[in-house]
Amino acid sequence: MKNRNVLISGASVAGPALAYWLRRHGFNPTIVERAPALRDGGYAVDFRGEVHLSILRRMGILADLERARTGMGSMAYVNSAGKVQAKMPADLFAGDIEILRGDLVRILYDATKDHTEYIFGDSITSLAEDDHGVTVTFERTPPRRFDLVIGADGLHSNTRRLTFGPEEQFVKHLGLYCAIFTTSNYLGLDHTGHAYRTGGKVVMLHSSRHNAEARAVFYFSSPELDLNRRDVARQQAVLAEQYTGNGWQSDRLLNEMRHAPDFYFDSVGQVHMDTWTRGRVALVGDAAYCPSSLSGMGSGLALVGAYVLAGELAAAQGDHRVAFARYEEELREYAVGCQKMGDGVAGLMVPGSRFVAGLLNRYYKLMPYLPGKNMAAKIARRTAENITLRDYRDLALR
């Protein structure tokens, strides 16, 4: 086995999942994460189908996810007075297991922390590759040598920028921005959520952590904005400009936003690349093939990508040239299918006018009685299962 020492940038989903499998296959993973600690909060993510569940089962964390699952029921669309106008079935949103992103990150960290070096509060500043490895410089940590570097650092990947070029070459803006934060469950929601749509905007409130709290979620239509991704005050000001006087719970939630411990704001986009690898550097998860939060496929795709990348490195005995080529060959079609699940969703989720929003609410009200009512959920399941995983277990260390 060669190229055992692997640096992974990003400690969200793809990074720790990759570290888990690399360690199982005899590699020595190190994870560097810009944030000073694990990031809590964020939206709920879901896994569906036997492909996803089989990987979670092999990792030994399926029972942990089951215990932490949201248990969400249907989502109701309401009018400005809070009266229910239509309901969407749970399986359209939640898959087989739905879990808060922060809870998933904690479970993955707990599964890897004893055998993976974590470096928090730091970031890669340069990568210098030669025939024998990569010299990595950091913002704070002294320079170090690694055999391989993997970018698992999300939609705005720093590793992708350093290796492949500027973000605008690869990220497709889908015309929306999203904001999420934790608040109190003051509506008394019981494993459910309410959503209110107006022209170009939707605001949602759903219960979380077994009704002990709630998540506020905002999506609004906008061209790309010139915003510093770390300027929370400016992001909150933009959200307030969009939603003040919007109706329903908008103004109250804007007030709650000021006190939220985990405010998150970002554009909604997809990543499209001709190749995910270059030399001794590879990308995995959203950094390589983000399907967008609208697809419902991001975390499942990251999980599968990490499993395949680690498995192919093991199968190639650490030969990155062979492994990286096989990784792209095995995963490309699956990733493209997952990305297609996010196409066109923006217009349905955030209609351009109140009139269209009203039409959609009436359509959703009739949906339970229409032929093909379960079609969307079936398509999502087929997409999630549209890959035959190689069994790399014989390569794992016992």
Exposure of 219 in the CB half-sphere (CA atoms within 13 A): 24
Q: What's the CA gap between 119 and 137, in Å, rounded?
A: 13
Q: For 220-224, 263-267, 328-332, 381-385, which range has the lowest pLDDT when averaged over its residues? A: 381-385
Sign of the C-alpha dihedral, residues 228, 230, 234, 236?
A: positive
pLDDT at 345 over 80: no
Whole-number CA gyration radius for the chain: 21
Q: pLDDT at position 315, please?
A: 95
The CATH number that domain 5-348+377-395 falls under is 3.50.50.60
Cβ distance 99 to 45 under 8 Å? yes
The pLDDT value recorded for residue 394 is 74
Q: Using 50, 70 and 90 to split pLDDT, how confident is the model at 398?
A: very low
pLDDT of residue 54: 95
| pLDDT tens-digit map of 184-204 | 999 999 999 999 998 899 999
What is the CB neighbour count within 10 angstroms for residue 233? Answer: 9
pLDDT, mean of residues 284-292: 96
Lowest mean pLDDT among 19-28, 35-44, 320-329, 383-392: 35-44
Q: Over 80: is that where the pLDDT of 277 sits? A: yes
pLDDT of residue 363: 65
Could you give the angle at the alpha carbon of 83 between the alpha carbons of 79 and 88, nearest 5°? 80
Answer yes or no: is pLDDT of 366 > 80.
Answer: no
> Can you tell me the mean pLDDT for 261-285?
96
The stretch 115-119 carries a mean pLDDT of 97
Least confident of 83-87, 241-245, 277-281, 297-301: 83-87
The yes-or-no verdict on residue 367 having pLDDT over 70 is no
42-101 residue pLDDT tens? 788 889 899 999 999 999 999 999 999 888 877 888 999 999 988 877 666 667 898 999
